[in-house]
Each structure stands twice: as structure tokens, then as C-alpha cells.
Structure 1
Amino acid sequence: MANDLMPAVLKENKSKEVSVKQTPFSNSQQKTLRKIILNP
């Protein structure tokens, strides 16, 4: 599921693309991503 969300998140946050690729998602980051996807 996370992999499906990744491309959309990267498109919305290109400035964060590098850090997203280099670091694993913490629980707080996953919650933030869900908020971004569910509440655009």
C-alpha cells in the first residue's frame, strides 16, 4: 500500500523527494502521508 502512495506523494512534494528516497518512513510520517492522500 505504501508503495502505491509513494509516487503521488513525491509528485506533491518534489522538494522532499530525496529525503523520502533516502530515509524509511517513521510512524508519524506515515500518518502525515495518509492525511495528505485522504485530505488533498
Structure 2
Amino acid sequence: MSRQVSKKAIRDSKRTFGNQIIFWMFKILYIIYYMLV
């Protein structure tokens, strides 16, 4: 049972990590666009 829980936790953490990368990429692109314009 604990193994299933840990697998789910790893999957959830991976998903949130991917969302954070996308969020930071958008933030950096927005800052670059703001500086250029």
C-alpha cells in the first residue's frame, strides 16, 4: 500500500514540477518581451 502511495506522490510531484517549469518559461518570456518593448 505504501508503495502505491509513494508512486502516486511521485507522479503528482512530477506533474507540479512540469507546471512550474511552464510557469517560469512564460514568466521569463514575458519579462524579455517587456524589456524589448
Shorter-chain TM-score tier: 0.3 to 0.5
- After TM superposition, the score normalised by the length of structure 2 is 0.38
Q: Flag the structure with more relative contact order, 1 or 2, with Cα contacts below 8 A and sequence separation at least 6.
A: 1
Determine which structure has more spread, i.e. the larger CA radius of gyration: 2
- After TM superposition, the score normalised by the length of structure 1 is 0.35
